[in-house]
Amino acid sequence: MKTVILLLLILLIIVPQEIINQDKLTNKLADLDSRLGAMESAKQVSPNFFLSGQTSHSGTQTTASATFVDVTGMSLSFTLVRPANVYFFGTLSGRNQDLATASVSMESIINLDGAQVGGSILTPGAYSPFGGGGVYFETGTMMWTQAVTAGAHTLKLQFRQSGGGTAGISASTKTMGYLVLGN
């Protein structure tokens, strides 16, 4: 009889404690779920919304075009599930091969869905310090942040000659990419 009473007392103490612990866990999970839902509805940054991509290429290319042309191998596609601020970057080495005889340059841009992102960079080249009329490549880097709508997007690195002559890109590695920052 004492054993039965003792077992009943133990059950009365342990079982309610387990029920209380389960209730606390259920309440904590519900609270966490509601906080994540509030973050998403308030469009706050959540780790679920980060996205990035980049590409690189190491071939040479030239153009005498005064309108922007695509840099070979420098195109990326990405999709945003909602509007976001996106950080774009690009770097390349270029020159205008006719710098020795004219005031010319090479101009580069980042293009998103057919429109220029931010400004452009000019890399005219630099005269050889050793004489002989050679023109060295100069490296330029672009970094821009822009609000982008939800949907599918295409990013390209483009270049052209500026002021005449022939623009050229060196065989050194070119890089372009993006990082979705959130709202």
34 & 52 share domain: no
Residue 16 pLDDT: 52
Average pLDDT over residues 94-119: 88
Average pLDDT over residues 43-68: 81
User: CB 137: neighbour CB atoms within 10 A?
Assistant: 18
Judged by DSSP in three states, 45 sits in coil
Q: When comparing pLDDT for 4 and 174, which is higher? A: 174
Q: How far is CA 136 from CA 54, 124, 181, in A?
A: 27, 9, 36
Q: Cβ neighbours of residue 102 under 8 Å, at least 6 residues apart?
A: 163, 164, 165
- Rounded to the nearest angstrom, the gap between the alpha carbon of residue 181 and the centroid of all alpha carbons in its chain is 8
Q: Is the pLDDT of residue 61 over 90?
A: yes
CA distances from 5 to 11, 13, 14, 18, 94 (A): 10, 12, 14, 20, 90
Q: Identify whether residues 150 and 177 lie together within a single domain.
A: yes
Question: How many domains, the chain?
Answer: 2
In the structure, what pLDDT confidence band is assigned to residue 126 with cuts at 50, 70 and 90? Answer: confident
In the chain, % helix, strand, coil (3-state, to 5) comes to 25, 50, 30
Asked if residue 162 and residue 136 are part of one domain, the reply reads yes
Looking at residue 64, its pLDDT comes to 95
Q: State the pLDDT confidence band at 41, using cuts at 50, 70 and 90.
A: low
Residue 52 has pLDDT above 60, yes or no: yes
- Structural contact between residues 71 and 61, judged by C-beta atoms closer than 8 angstroms: yes
State the chain's mean pLDDT as an integer: 81
The answer, yes or no, to whether residue 15 has pLDDT greater than 60, is no
**Judgement on whether residues 130 and 168 belong to the same structural domain of the protein:** yes
165 and 128 within one domain? yes
pLDDT tops 70 at residue 21: no
Least confident interval from 23-27, 48-52, 148-152: 23-27
Q: What is the pLDDT of residue 40?
A: 56
User: What is the percentage of the chain residues whose pLDDT exceeds 90?
Assistant: 43
Q: Does the pLDDT value for residue 117 go beyond 70?
A: yes
Residue 104 is which amino acid?
V
What's the pLDDT at 158?
Answer: 96
Both 72 and 113 in one domain: the answer is yes
Determine the Cα–Cα distance for residues 75 and 156; give it in Å rounded to an integer.
Answer: 4
Edge to edge, what strands does the sheet with 151-162 contain? 69-80, 151-162, 105-112, 115-122
Q: Do residue 4 and residue 59 come from a single domain?
A: no
Per-residue model confidence (pLDDT) at position 151:
94
Mean pLDDT of 20-36: 65
Are 183 and 87 spatial neighbours (Cβ–Cβ below 8 Å)?
no
State which residues form the domain around 14: 1-42
The residue to which tokens 């996205």 are assigned: 51
